[in-house]
Amino acid sequence: MVDETNPFEEMMQRFDRAAELLRLDSGLYKVLRNPTREITVYLPVIMDDGRIEIFKGFRVQHNIARGPCKGGIRYSPDVTLDEIKALAAWMTWKCAVVNIPFGGAKGGVVCDPSQLTISELEKVTRRYTAEMIDFIGPEKDVPAPDLNTDEQVMAWMMDTYSMHARHTVTAVVTGKPVGLGGSRGRREATGFGLTVIALEALRILNKAPEETRVVIQGYGNVGGTAALLLHQQGFKVVAVSDIHGGIYHRDGLAIPSITRIADAQKIDRITNAELLELSCDILIPAATENQLTSKNADRVRAKIVLEGANGPTTHVADEIFEEKNILVIPDILANAGGVTVSYFEWVQDRYGYFWKDQEVRERLTEVMKMSFGDVLNYAQMHQVTLRTAAYMLAIDRVAHYTKLRGIYA
């Protein structure tokens, strides 16, 4: 029995289903289901009051068949190795779905950034980078921001790596400040990509944006950006939420005026649980994993679930949605805008030539539209769900390059 709350087991459930349908060679199955490398480090840090604390850090490199590893670093007291392993594998499949030349990786440090001073956060970051120095690099593994990390954390990582290399290496991380080699459009890339996919999904709904009711769980960088962009495209965003709860208005929210949900006036207050069960055309879970499970999936009334977060829907919920004819556009396609523009940043850093906002948006739109079409065609060809199609397409691509390269012995 697969544990719905275990992200690695959840990812493997999807992988196994796709591998079975592809009739994947048993040897390749063993290669692709296991990570290339798992790294655990213990980071001694001198805190501001002089005491020494030890922080535990991880980096999992899942696959390098198609290029250097790529994946974010998260800081959270809830980080586990199983979570990092699952997210690293998801990155492999995500990069393959949008056909960019990276493999997957993920990292994390067990800490609560809200309880650290800026000085302590910098020390944790620099020590983590120093411990990982032999395993990361522009040709090896390129980290990026994730949960509770940002441009500043990436700047510290880039500087630490550069100090050891004795020259500036901007391409070692992505998601940096623009002045340090970051790409324009990176911060809003995931939300922008979701918007492109939402517009593509309207062809399935056969609706205009003005007729389309959208509900968004998570009002951070991804969900907040998607809410604003969808509103600008004419979608009717009727509900949004953050960790403390949500707000709802059946005629649509004035998204540009909502900077903090807690400050919104004269609007119905709802819980996050209630938000997920609202009647709507598109539901975007853009918060954390395991939000749509066996416990609430039968009460979801959306026509489309567009996954902004990684792993928000469990495999049991997927089965319920399939029975209810709810279309799920999976995370490894829907939220791939972030890693796509990270790839653009890596390319720009290596060229030393940077693109304008419009060029980034045009290139991202092209990638997202093409990838949606690829997955939709694969789903129709094999008569499977979009999630299974995305996994099959990704695994097929990675397996193809693994066979071409062969197994080094």
Task: Please identify every residue annotated as catalytic.
Answer: 106
Bridge partners of residue 302, in order along the sequence: 280
Q: Which amino acid makes up residue 123?
A: K
- 3-state SS string for the chain: CCCCCCHHHHHHHHHHHHHHHHCCCHHHHHHHHCCCEEEEEEEEEECCCCCEEEEEEEEEECCCCCCCEEEEEEEECCCCHHHHHHHHHHHHHHHHHCCCCCEEEEEEEECCHHHCCHHHHHHHHHHHHHHCCCCCECCCEEEEECCCCCHHHHHHHHHHHHHHHCCCCHHHCCCCCHHHCCCCCCCCHHHHHHHHHHHHHHHHHCCCHHHCEEEEECCCHHHHHHHHHHHHCCCEEEEEEECCEEEECCCCCCHHHCCCHHHCCCCEEECHHHHHCCEEEEEEECCCCCCECCCCHHHCEEEEEECCCCCCECHHHHHHHHHCCCEEECHHHHCCHHHHHHHHHHHHHHHCCCCCHHHHHHHHHHHHHHHHHHHHHHHHHHCCCHHHHHHHHHHHHHHHHHHHHCCCC
CA 198 – CA 184 distance, rounded (Å): 22
CA 320 – CA 298 distance, rounded (Å): 6
